[in-house]
Every structure is written in C-alpha cells, then in structure tokens.
C-alpha cells in the first residue's frame, strides 16, 4: 500500500464496530453513546460493519439469483450492507446532537486494486477526511468496501472492516485504533467453544496475525499487517463493556513482554480442504505451472507439500485451500492435468487446521513432542503437518478439531497465568 498520510489534525480517534455491535437499533443506540463520549474530547472516525448477519443474507440472495454470481455484481450487492448501518447510526447520532456524517468508501476516497471480493487498499485520500472534519465532529465510514480508480465498487473480503479502520487510522496518523466486538478481547482460544480460554491483556502483532490467518475469529489478518507497518496500536474491546480495557496488540518488537509464555493460543480453522494432484513428472517447472494456474484464479494455497517417488520419476503435490475455493481448484487442476501429464486430482473436504501459536515456539523441541503425543494418546489422526517460526499446524478431521484444540489447550496449560514449560 502506498504511503497515504497527509498533514492534518492529529487528535483523531478511530474506532470500529462489528456486525454484532450494530445488530439492532438498540445496539446502534448504545454504539452512538460510546461515540458521543469520544466526540466530546476529539474528532472521531467510526468504521461500521453491516448489521448482524446482513452480509450472509446478501450472499444467500446472490446464490439464489445465480449459481456462480459475477464478482463485480456481488461486490455491488454486498457493499449495501454497510451503507444501511452507517445511515442508521448517523440518524441516531444526529438526534443526540452530534455533528455526524455518514460516508461511503467513494466519498472518503478509499481506493483499491482492481480485484473483486478480495481487494487490497492502495490509497486513501486523507485530505478529503480533513475537509469533512471542518464541518463535522464524527465521520461514520462504511467498512469492508473500496473503489477502483475507474469507479467500480470493491470489497475487501470477509472481516475487511478491520482493515478499513486501520488504514484510516494510518492515513490520519492516529496513534491507536480500537476494534469493538462482542467479546472482552483476545483469548487463548475460542471462549465460546472452550470454557477454559483465558483473556490476554497483551499480545504481539506477530502472534495475533498468525492466529487470524489460522482461523481464529480475532481480526482480519491484513489489518494486523497494516497496523504493524504504520505503527498503529490496536486494542480489541467489548462494545457492551466500554470501560473494559480489552487486549492491547503490541505492534512493536514486544520488548520483554511475558517471555515465559512460549505458546499464546490455539487456533482452529474448519473452513479447509486438502487437494492432491497425483503423479506429476519430476521435472523443473511443473510446480510453477500448477501454482500459476491457481494464482490466475486468485486461489490461495497453504501447507504445500510434495511427496517424492524417485524410483518412478514422479511427484505428488498436496496442499490446502479454503472451502469456498475447492470447486474452482478442482476445475482448474482438471483443466491442466493433461498438459502436465498428471495422473489424477484428489480432494479431501474433511479437513480442519488446529494450530499452536506463540512467539516463543521456535527452537523448543518439547512443544511439538507434547503436541503429537497429546493427539496420539487420544487417537486423533494427523493428516498433514506444517510449522514456522511462530506456529505448528496439524490437519485433522473436522469432527475432531474442537476436541483436539481443547486437549492441546489443556496440555499446554493455556488457561493459567503461567502456561506449561519444558520442565512441566
């Protein structure tokens, strides 16, 4: 993303409210009360998501209208959800005597690349924001959406309102961005599924980025990347407990923060499938053709592995994709199968990723040993394994995913202030 900051007021608060926070008119009124208190002290940008399950409903309508909805038209449809929210919130704010104005991405000047349903922000016309602030104290901005340089509406992908908020905070040089949701902050795992989950008062941006990428319903991954790039502090807070400080996401190196904590959390992503293209020739360039074909369809691959059969001169490539991309992945690979002399394409939809995430994970062999022994003792089969400096991910059956997460959460004692160590 381009450097898009311009000179302007530096005392601006940026807050974001998710769909659950604005699900009903009563909740919108509560959000308006929070914003009104902020506006008494400083200018405020409030980024808002669509009400409740509105986006899901719009996607359902699109699929009723077309088996394969055109992505441009889908963005045109989905962007309307946020426009409902910002208009209603502004009505409430104005009735409370707040000088507020609702704005779409077009009116703010949030420009994106020419990609529909998963666009990235390339520029924000922050001068427009400062101009609006000459007349208004609160700008209520539609999250999740952008506009191309030739006027097409785009969306940023599910959870993209987080990215909108952080990008706006960076553009006006706000030091902090508060993300309001329906939980107290970031937990060691999903508290709705594992009662022993513990609230973290602080976490590094690297850790929360891994958790977000690995399926934890925390923040949109791109919002965390953006916050780290522009040094915007993030805080996740509960809309319904506005006095609660929530979880601070440290976008610096992390200093000496909680060095004892090797593992910060367990993430689960049940929206996964594995795909294998079998017996391709063991020749240079084959992997490039496979990955390029999928890249042309904007399909992201993860956990890419290659099994080698040197005696017969062929390899098999196995990887994971999001559930929503499975059909297109199979179609794409079937189309190039004969070109690369592959034998067949296989898919396994019964997959879920279960991941340990922690800044202190690397270089500690007791961690994978405890992970694998814990799952093995409980007869949970591991289909795939991948690791990096800050995570270890295993793929298991979807039916076993939450059980695996709870077992690991308990084994590593994540529900306590001082989780397990090598001496445990």
Q: In this structure, what token pair is assigned to residue 236?
A: 């996740």
State the pairing for strand pair 391-396/344-357: antiparallel
Residue 179 near residue 232 (C-beta atoms within 8 A): no
Q: What is the pLDDT of residues 203-261, one digit of tens each?
A: 888 888 888 888 777 788 888 889 988 989 999 999 999 999 999 998 765 444 444 57
Provide the domain limits for residue 65.
12-182
Q: How many domains does the chain have?
A: 1
Q: How far apart are CA 97 and CA 208, in angstroms?
A: 38
* pLDDT at residue 258 in the model: 43
Q: In this structure, is residue 301 part of a structural domain?
A: no
Phi then psi dihedrals of residue 197, to 5 deg? -60, 140
Q: How far apart are CA 167 and CA 160, in angstroms?
A: 11
Q: In this structure, is residue 306 part of a structural domain?
A: no
CATH assignment at residue 138 = 3.40.1160.10
Q: In this structure, is residue 221 part of a structural domain?
A: no
The DSSP output letter for 345 is E
Residue with tokens 């994709």: 321
Taking 3-state DSSP, the helix, strand and coil percentages for the chain, each rounded to the nearest 5, stand at 35, 25, 40
Q: Which of 186, 142, 148 is nearest to 163 (CA)?
A: 142
Q: In this structure, is residue 379 part of a structural domain?
A: no
Q: In this structure, is residue 56 part of a structural domain?
A: yes
Q: In this structure, is residue 162 part of a structural domain?
A: yes
Q: Find the length of the chain.
A: 424
Q: Which of 290, 277, 273, 275 is nearest to 324 (CA)?
A: 273
Q: In this structure, what token pair is assigned to residue 108?
A: 């703010």
Concatenated DSSP letters for 222-289?
A: HHHHHHHHHT-EEEEEETT-TT---EEEE-S--TTTTTT-S--EEEEEEEEEEEEEEEEES-TTHHHH
Angle between helix 366-377 and 398-411 (nearest 10): 130
Residue 409 near residue 264 (C-beta atoms within 8 A): no
Q: In this structure, what token pair is assigned to residue 307?
A: 């099994």
Angle between helix 25-39 and 80-95 (nearest 10): 60
Q: In this structure, is residue 25 part of a structural domain?
A: yes
Q: In this structure, is residue 109 part of a structural domain?
A: yes
Per-residue pLDDT of the chain (424 residues), as tens digits, is 333 345 555 689 999 999 999 999 999 999 999 999 999 999 999 999 999 999 999 999 999 999 989 999 999 999 999 999 999 999 999 999 999 999 999 999 999 999 999 899 999 999 999 999 999 999 999 999 999 999 999 999 878 999 999 999 999 999 889 999 988 999 999 888 888 899 999 988 888 888 888 877 778 888 888 998 898 999 999 999 999 999 999 876 544 444 457 888 999 999 999 999 999 888 889 999 999 999 999 899 999 998 876 667 888 999 999 998 999 999 999 999 999 999 999 999 999 999 999 887 878 899 999 999 999 999 999 999 999 888 999 999 999 999 999 999 999 999 887 766 665 4
Per-residue burial over 314-326, b if 16 or more Cβ lie within 10 Å, else e, is: bbbbbbbbeeebb
* pLDDT at residue 252 in the model: 64
Concatenated DSSP letters for 38-101?
A: HHTTSEEEEEE--STTHHHHHHHHHHHH-SS--HHHHHHHHTHHHHHHHHHHHHHHHHTT--EE
Residue 128 near residue 187 (C-beta atoms within 8 A): no
Strand, coil or helix: what is 128?
A: helix
Residue 141 near residue 103 (C-beta atoms within 8 A): yes
pTM above 0.85, yes or no: no
């Amino acid at each position: 993303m381009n450097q898009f900051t311009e000179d302007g007021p530096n005392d601006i608060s940026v807050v974001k409210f998710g769909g659950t926070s604005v699900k009903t008119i009563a909740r919108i009124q509560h959000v308006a009360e929070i914003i009104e208190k902020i506006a008494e002290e400083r200018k405020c940008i409030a980024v808002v998501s669509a009400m409740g399950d509105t986006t899901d409903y719009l996607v359902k309508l699109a699929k009723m209208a077309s088996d394969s909805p055109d992505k441009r038209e889908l963005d045109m449809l989905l962007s309307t959800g946020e426009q409902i929210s910002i208009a209603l919130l502004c009505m409430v704010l104005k009735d409370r005597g707040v000088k507020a104005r609702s704005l779409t991405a077009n009116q703010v000047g949030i420009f994106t690349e020419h990609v529909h349903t998963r666009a990235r922000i390339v520029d924000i016309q922050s001068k427009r924001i400062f101009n609006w602030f000459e007349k208004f104290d609160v700008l209520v901005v539609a999250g999740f959406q952008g506009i191309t340089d030739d006027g097409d509406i785009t969306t940023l992908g599910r959870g993209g309102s987080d990215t909108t908020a952080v990008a706006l905070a960076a553009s006006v040089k706000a030091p902090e961005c508060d993300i309001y949701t329906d939980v107290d902050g970031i937990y060691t795992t999903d508290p709705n599924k594992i009662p022993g989950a513990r609230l973290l008062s602080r976490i590094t941006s690297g850790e929360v980025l891994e958790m977000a990428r690995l399926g934890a319903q925390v923040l949109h991954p791109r919002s965390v990347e953006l916050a780290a790039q522009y040094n915007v502090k993030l805080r996740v807070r509960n809309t319904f407990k506005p006095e609660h400080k929530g979880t601070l996401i440290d976008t610096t190196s992390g200093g000496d923060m909680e060095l004892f904590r090797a593992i910060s959390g367990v993430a689960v992503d049940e929206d996964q499938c594995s795909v294998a293209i079998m017996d391709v020739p063991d020749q240079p360039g084959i992997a490039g053709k496979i990955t390029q074909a999928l890249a042309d369809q904007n399909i992201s691959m993860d956990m890419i592995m290659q099994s080698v059969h040197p005696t017969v001169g062929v390899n098999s490539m196995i990887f994971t994709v999001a559930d929503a991309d499975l059909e297109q992945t199979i179609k794409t690979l079937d189309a190039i199968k004969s070109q690369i002399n592959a034998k067949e394409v296989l898919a396994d939809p019964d997959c879920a990723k279960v991941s340990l995430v922690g800044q202190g994970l690397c270089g500690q062999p007791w961690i994978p040993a405890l992970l694998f022994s814990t799952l093995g003792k409980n007869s949970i089969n591991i289909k795939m394994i991948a690791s990096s400096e800050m995570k270890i991910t295993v793929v298991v059956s979807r039916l076993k995913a939450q059980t695996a997460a709870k077992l690991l959460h308990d084994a590593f004692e994540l529900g306590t202030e001082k989780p397990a160590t090598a001496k445990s």
